Amino acid sequence: MNAASGIIPTLFLVIVVASIQTHGFLDLLDEEVTDSLSGPGPRPLQSDTSKSVHELLYDAMQTNKGCQKKIEELQVENNKKILEKAAVERNMTMEILALEKEKAALERNMTMEKAAVERNMTMEILAHEKEKAALEKNMTIIKTQLDAIKTEMQGWPETAIVGTASWLLGRRFAGRSSQALERTP
C-alpha cells in the first residue's frame, strides 16, 4: 500500500508539470514568433508563464507532501485500529479459554459429586441389605424357637400351655435369641 500511495501523487505531479510545460513551451514559442515578427528590441527577462509554472510546480510539490502526510496519518490510524482489534480478539480468546476451563472444572466436580453420591447410595443399600439379612436371621431364629415351643407343648392342657409358654418363651428368648440379636450390627 505504501508503494501505491506514493505513485498516485507522483503521477499527478508529472501530469501537472507536463501540461504546464507544454502550455509554457507553446507560450514561449508564441512569444518567439511574435518577437521575430516585431523586429529587434528588448526581450523580457522572464515571462509571466514561466513564473506561474514554477509556482504551480511548487504548489504541486506541496500538495504531494500534504497527500503523503495525510496517507501516513491514515496508516497510523489504521495500524492503531488493527492493534485495538487484535487486543480485543486476544481478550475475547482469553475470556473464552477461562470460561472453558471453568466449565471443565465444574463438570469434573459434578462428576466427582455424582460418583460420591452413587458410592454413598451403594453403601446405604448394602447396609440396609445387611440389616435386612440380620433381621431375617433373627426372625428365623425366633420362628424356630416358637416351632420348638409348639412341639414341646403338644398334648398339654390349654391353661398349662399358656403359663408354660410364657415361661418357656421368656427363658428361650432370653437365652438363644438375645445372643443372636447381639450379633446383628
Structure confidence by residue, pLDDT tens digits, 19-48:
665 555 555 555 554 555 455 544 444 444
Residue whose C-alpha cell is 489504521: 78
Asked whether the predicted pLDDT for residue 125 surpasses 80, the reply is yes
Asked whether the predicted pLDDT for residue 114 surpasses 50, the reply is yes
Sequential DSSP letters for 86-144: HHHHHHHHHHHHHHHHHHHHHHHHHHHHHHHHHHHHHHHHHHHHHHHHHHHHHHHHHHH
In this prediction the pTM is 0.37
C-alpha cell read off for 142:
425366633
Rounded distance between C-alpha atoms, residue 97 and residue 101, angstroms: 6
